[in-house]
Structures are given as structure tokens and as C-alpha cells.
A and B are shown apart, each in its own frame.
Chain A
């Protein structure tokens, strides 16, 4: 008897919030009166279906395919989500190149330094990397970095770091048959809440071929690699 009661109360709670007991305002083409419950059911059905395995594009990329693509290709990986994708250029505005993946995630870089992400959830909205670029290119020096985010209520929040760039020697890197001899530069940044380390592999022409850069506290680091020559 008591167990039934308990279950009934629990259900009442769940449904109490889940159900849209009231008519909703209808807008545009969205006509139905959805409830979280019906969405949850749909979502549950979706979750039970076998999912296509997330393919790591690195397993089937070749130098020939990259060179024939007709567009520059950027590889990006988020180890924290085990998500890996190739991206192509989506737009360029005042030195910032925005790249897009097939599922609509965009990453923006200014001279190879990450300035924004979209579609990752707690996105990096913008970043001031001007001082950092000078230090990273020279492999020495301190800089101030400013990152902009939105909080849970969509209000802008800002995280500032003091960074120090250090030269970490040279490394031989091979990107699908392309052999490169690159400078490795680390950038250690900190503020009272976080300590982060970005790493860059830079050519003599100051091109950042490959990097591991911090996006934000939830996403962690994004690794990216320029695949095209």
C-alpha cells in the first residue's frame, strides 16, 4: 500500500512539471501543444535506436583526397567529447576565418588563434588574442587574454588570463605525407580559477599548422590541424 502511494506521488511530481497543462502560445509554423513528456518519449525512442558510430575522419583521410578537395581542410578534435571532424572555410572577416563541420559546428581562428566556437554548448563567444599572438610568434613574452562567454541566463561573462609564451624547441610533424619541421611554442595562462596550457606548432612563415587550445572550462581543449598545403 505504501509503496503504491510512494510511486503515485513520485509520478505526480514527474508529470506535474512534465505536462503542459496549459495551452501554449502558438507561433509561426509550430502548431502543436508539446509537453516535455511527449518530447521525452520521442527522445527515448531516439535513444534506443542504434546510433551510427561517430567516425574519426583520420582513419580514412589521405593526402590525395585532401589535395583534391578543392577547399582547405581543418581537422579538429575534442578529446573531452571524443568528437572529431573535418571542417571547411565558412567565411572570413577581418582576419578571422570561420570553419564549419558537416554538423554545423563552427570554429573561428584569427592568425591561427581560436577566437570563437558555435554549437558546442558552452561556446566561446569571442576572444581578444592580439597580445597573445605577438608573444606566441616570438616564442617569448607575456600577454593578457580575454575570453567572452554567456552564462546560463545568456548574460555575457568574461574570463581574463595572464599568459606567458615559451619556446619548446622544434618537432618533426607529418600531416598525411606532408613532412614539416616546426617550432613548438607553449603558452601558460592562469587566473585565480584556472590554469591552462595552449600548445602551437609554427612554421618559419609564422603559420600555425597545428595547435591545442583551450575553449572553456566545460569543453576543455580543441586540437586542430591544417591539413591542406
Chain B
């Protein structure tokens, strides 16, 4: 049995050039405080107090650079807003905002609010024509910030931009006039008030009620400093009338002025004087998945191709007699294994004939699979006798072999230093379907084997009105015991050390408490069993992948989980089926169960649209026994970044669901190598649920098949092939 200490690829950078280590650390630290010095904004736009491209409190028609992600924070008397905005396409942007308003209730109490915005740029700026955009602000929240607008912005020269627009809702509240849309339909004259639980699109109010004009100018004094002046159509009516009279907002003037200062690319600070009464400050931190801070890879260079001596110079080398020399083939296998290990991979299996070498590798280091394939092919040129012309490379993951890549050795020799080598090598490689079962046997000394690790963990909860941020910190001991190819036992023990998750709100849900008992789970002193499962992965037929898991599947549930995935090697489309029977675990998260059990499962369809977008539809039964569907849409980047949103609709009524009406959220996937430039397969995945309730809740089982399999297939291999020669 082999025991291997977990390889820590990220931080053990001893021996690197010092200057780079320093820069990497700084980049990481900077990232920790959202200071990504990666993407310089194009001059001409900066962010408003609402966190979208704009003036001070008013929007403009400008769009951010495509794919820009910005986090803004702003505050003034009685309010603070923080917004995450993503430029989803060159024209469409989406924002998620979390705000707090002081002095909101009759007794002066505070309220917290989540809101979503969308903005679409209808018309691009021309020589004489302004850019025109239409926007929905807080279009599905409780409506505190609800407004709609149509806005035009024209730049005059490089420094001056003039904006004018018409707004409804909040943006129609100062000096408003009768809604011009009322001429189309008299229903537009009145804007209904907010009703319901929030979280559903309040489309019956959009563009209704009085309208008003707003506008302003921004002037870039130099590359760093922009001055802004605006006329606001927001009367701040709610802030001026709610809560304790002494603490109310005073609206004295519609004119706001302010400045935006670019501290450095990626970080802007702003200050402004609002409504003749209050001072506001803000900051925005921008970065862009397209512009990694590392700008590439700092990982060690690959072992180069070793060309063969031409046959006419040394014909003896080209014979195939070596194949019957067991000592020679064993030596080849051992050297290859050592070389692969040095490059962060492992040799799972090797099969040689006189002209072909077929290798199965585990890639433990490289985020992009083509990088592992390219490095393996180069190592094969180092060790294989000259007669071997064909390399067949199969990355193996969880005992599954989703694809086999065939590469000709002579192509490696001719293309290594060729201009356009990435594309030429892709064009000459063949990628086909494969299966773990028909192929070389895994090396005998591989199984059984144990890998383990000890690391800190952090568990975070957001948006609790009593305390917007709660977290537990602790240590986790995790391990995996591989019994044979595809069969393993995995588990993790956790010991919380400090935290305040246990003080979270008690559940008030009228549904079975399938997720809202989180605070009770957090009260366990530990040690607690995070998960402990026996997992089996298999390929039952061509294009089919299977997973069977039994045990303590996640923090709150244990039971059995079975999954089947259909994914042809070159298909953009995949289907999945998952069936689980689970019981709710005891709050102490040891071995016991409570008496809630449920059959839950989904039929899923996955589709890669080909323009960087990926969609997923899951239809089935959720943890509370509710039936429904989850829709997810992700924008995926070639470097592994993903920015996505999801929403779940089930037969639980909005009233039974409670606050928020239905489950929805945002999900970010950030490869750690994007941040550090060091090769690693680690990624940070964050899902932000504005509200976690019991309706539309899914089981959180580890090791679902789709992401594992698709990464080794088309079209992802093609998309990441640029890394083949890295």
C-alpha cells in the first residue's frame, strides 16, 4: 500500500525566482482585498453609487468592458450599498446589490435589502448619435430601489461625456410629470405599490407611474481624476418620510457633484456631495476574467521534445525487437513514471507495441488537460524507442477514461518550435471516445492507496439580517482510500475552532426543515464528520458514465446516491439522471440520523452553446419533496473562470417558500492558477444564495459526473489546446 502525503502545489514555491514569488504573493494578497491590478478600465466610464456605470446616483448609457466584474461599496448618511456587477455580454450587464437603510422602521430600526438590476445597451455611440441604454433597477426585490430608465450618453472629445435620460419609479420621483406611456395604455399612469414576499419580478410596476428627466456631465481632468455633475430625478421620498423624524434624509437640491479618482488600474475611489445635504464616499474594485493577474504561467517549463536520430543515420534504433526485452520495457515504464511524477502527473497504465505507446495518466497539477497531454507526449519522446510513432494518451479521472488522444511523434518533432504550433498540433491530433474497461491494466503497485490532507476550512453564511456575515473557521482532516480503479472511500473530519454560525436565526419555515436548520448543525462542538462515502465510478457502455455513492453524503444528509451521464466525446449536449434516497443527519454530525427521509433526484440536460455560454436544466424532486426545475446559465472562459446564475421553481408556492419567493443565486468559479500563475487544479467555487430556504433545495453530493467528464472531452479540449505546448 502506498501512502502519499498530499502534494501541496500552491505554496511550496521554494526555488522560484524570488522576484516572482514576491509578485505572486502580492497579487494574491491584493486579490484578497479585491485589488486586482489586471484590468485597466477603458477611460470614459466609472461606477455610480449603485455600482453600475454611471454618474453619481444616476445611470449612464455606457457599458463596462466585456466580462468586467466589479465590486463597489458606497455609503452616505443612512445608507450603504454594495454591488456586484458583471458585464455579461458586450451589451448586457447584471447587478446584485446588498444594501442597508438606517432609520427604516417606525422605531428607527434598520432594514437590509437585496436587489437585482439589468441594463441593455440598445444603440452604440456613433459620430453624432449617442449610446442609448435601457435599464431595470431592483426589478425583482422588495422594490426599495425600483426604477426603470432609458438613458443616452454622448462623449464629446476624449474627456467630456454628456448624459440625459428619462426615469420611472425612484428615478421619476423628483419633478415628475404624467407618464408619456399612458397615451398607449392608461394603465401606465399609476404605479402599483409593492406586495408579496419579494424576489419575484415586479413587472406589473415597470415603466409605470410618473416619469422624470435626469442628466449630467462627467469630465476627465486627467487619466486619474474625473469630475461629475448631475441633476437627479430621485426625490429620496422614502428616506425622507420613514423612521424617526430627527434622523430622516433631507433632500434640499436635485444637484449632486462629485469626483472619481483612479487610485490605480482596478481601484477607483469616489466622493460626492448629494442632494445639498450629505457627503457620500465609494470605492470600486474591477477585474476581468479575461485578464489574469499572472498574465500566464510561472510554472516550470516543460521537458522538451527529444527528436529521434533519423532512420538512415541509425537504422538499428528503429527496430522493434526491444518489445520482447522485458528488462528494457520495465525500465522504460519506470523512467516514464518518474518523469511524469516530476511533472505533477502519475502513470496509471502503460501498454506498448513496436510502434504504439498507450498511456493512462492522472493529472494532479494542470488546470488545462491539454497541458497535461502535451507534457506527457513530450516525455514519451524522451523514453520511447524510435520505432514508436503513435502516442495514445488517456487522462484518467476517478477511474474513468472519457477520451483518448492520438498524437503522432513526428508531429511532436516538427511542431514543437513552429509558429502556429498550437492549432497545427490540434488539427493533427485525434480525439476519440474511450473506456476504462478496454485498455491497459492499471499498474499493480497503484492500489490500494491512501492520500490524506490536513487543512483549514472556512464556512460562511451571508445576508442574515441580524448579522450579514457569519463564519466558522476550523481544521479539516480529509482522506481518500482507493481500493481499486474507480472504487474508493473518501471522508473528512472537521473540528470547528472559532465562529458564530451557531447564532444564526432559527428556522421559521413551514416546509420540512431541509436546509433552514443550518444554525442547529453549526451548534455541534465537533469533531464532526463532514462526509464519509464509498464511491464507485464506472463506464457501463459507450458514452455512458456512472457513479454510485453510499454513506454520509454531506453535512446534513446521508444515504445512497446514483448517477448516470450520457456524454459523447464530441458532443455539446449531455444528459444526466441522478436518483438519491437520503435521511437527514443528526445535528451533531456524527453517525446518527433523524427521522426525515426522502427520495430526491433529477433528470438533467447540459448544453454548451459554443459562444462561451453554457446552460443546464435540472428537472426533478427536491429535498423537501417538492417537484420542479432548476435553470442555470453560465458564462465560461477559456481559462476556467465561470460566472453563472441559477433559479429554481418548484410546486412550493411563493407564500410557503417564504421571503425571496423562490431559490436563486449566483455562482463564481475561479481557478487558483488564474490568480497565482502557479499550475494547480484547485479552484475556488462560491455560490451566493441571497436566501437559503427549504424549497428547491438540492442534495450536495460530492463528485458529480458532468464537470469531471466534460473537461476531458470536446469542446473543452479544443478551447484549452493553446496550453498543449506550455
Q: A residues engaging B (CB < 8 A)?
A: 2, 5-6, 8-44, 46-47, 51-54, 81-83, 85, 90-94, 96, 98, 100, 102-106, 108, 110, 115-116, 118-123, 125-128, 146, 148, 150-156, 158, 218
Contacts and interface: CB of A to CB of B under 8 A. Distances in A.
Given A22-B685, A31-B480, A119 B703 contact: no
B362 interface: yes
B135 interface: no
B554 A37 contact: no
B241 interface: no
Contacts of B469: 8, 11-12, 15
> Which A-B residue pairs are the 7 nearest by beta carbons?
A104-B300, A91-B304, A106-B301, A118-B301, A153-B638, A28-B364, A32-B455
B498 to A, nearest CB: 14
A9 B468 contact: yes
Given A16-B686, A21-B687, A29-B6, A39 B20 contact: no
The CB with the most chain B CB atoms within 10 A, among A11, A24, A53, A119, is that of: A119
A71 to B, nearest CB: 15
Contacts of A121: 20, 294-298, 677
A31 B453 contact: yes
Interface residues of B, number: 121
Interface stretch (B7-15, B161-169, B650-658): B7-15
Given A91-B306, A93-B305, A37 B18 contact: no
B726 interface: yes
Contact of B301 (A21, A105, A127): A105
Nearest to A1: B102
B296 A148 contact: no
The CB with the most chain B CB atoms within 10 A, among A36, A38, A83, A218, is that of: A36
Given A21-B460, A93-B306, A121-B298, A8 B7 contact: no
Interface stretch (B29-37, B117-125, B221-229): B29-37
B681 A27 contact: yes
Contact of B422 (A16, A110, A156): A156
Contacts of B25: 43-44, 46-47
B642 interface: no
Given A24-B683, A27-B681, A119-B298, 6 more contacts: A13-B82, A26-B702, A27-B398, A40-B32, A153-B638, A154-B719
A51 B7 contact: no
A220 B294 CA distance: 16
Contacts of B15: 102-103
Given A125-B725, A146-B419, A22 B307 contact: no
Contact of A51 (B22, B32, B638): B22
B350 interface: no
A128 B413 contact: no
A105 to B, nearest CB: 6
B82 A9 contact: yes
Interface stretch (B142-150, B203-211, B624-632, B667-675): B667-675
Nearest to A106: B301
Contacts of A120: 296, 298
Nearest to A9: B82
Nearest to A127: B419
